[in-house]
Amino acid sequence: GAVVSQHPSWVICKSGTSVKIECRSLDFQATTMFWYRQFPKQSLMLMATSNEGSKATYEQGVEKDKFLINHASLTLSTLTVTSAHPEDSSFYICSARVYGYTFGSGTRLTVV
């Protein structure tokens, strides 16, 4: 079945640094990837829709300059959290629209 590989699984970084999260579609081409954020004990919240070869579409309230999304190829989408702060600590998950919407394994980001 369709597999989305997400790296890293977890990352701890210092406040003010940037962190890049990658999502790769391993056995299919993903023209569209969705990026979600999940706070503890809460549901997934869509942050942005990443489209191959064009600019991402951000949901209301999501700072596009802070959460940079790049989808340069049909198999890779990246989310960069720039100048991370402790309030950015969260669980970030990507998803591609194949049957059932395949999810990456998620990245737990902790900013200290």
Partner 1 sequence: EDKVVQSPLSLVVHEGDTVTLNCSYEVTNFRSLLWYKQEKKAPTFLFMLTSSGIEKKSGRLSSILDKKELFSILNITATQTGDSAIYLCAVSPLDAGNMLTFGGGTRLMVKP
Q: Which is nearer to partner 1, 32 or 80 (CB)?
A: 32
- 84: which strand partners? none
CB of 4 vs partner 1, minimal distance in Å: 9
Q: Using CB under 8 A, list all residues that contact partner 1.
A: 6, 32, 34, 36, 41-46, 49, 57, 93, 95, 97, 99-106
Q: How far is the CB of 46 from partner 1 (least distance, A)?
A: 6
Nearest distance from C-beta of residue 83 to partner 1, angstroms: 26
Minimum CB distance to partner 1 smaller for 34 or for 75: 34
Is residue 92 within 8 Å of residue 106, measured between CB atoms?
Answer: yes
The nearest distance, CB 16 to partner 1, in angstroms, is 27
Between residues 14 and 41, which has the closer beta carbon with respect to partner 1? Answer: 41
Spatial separation of the C-alpha atoms in residues 68 and 110, rounded to whole Å:
18
Q: Can you point out the beta strands (E) in 1-112?
A: 4-7, 10-13, 19-25, 32-38, 45-51, 57-58, 67-73, 76-81, 90-96, 102-103, 107-111
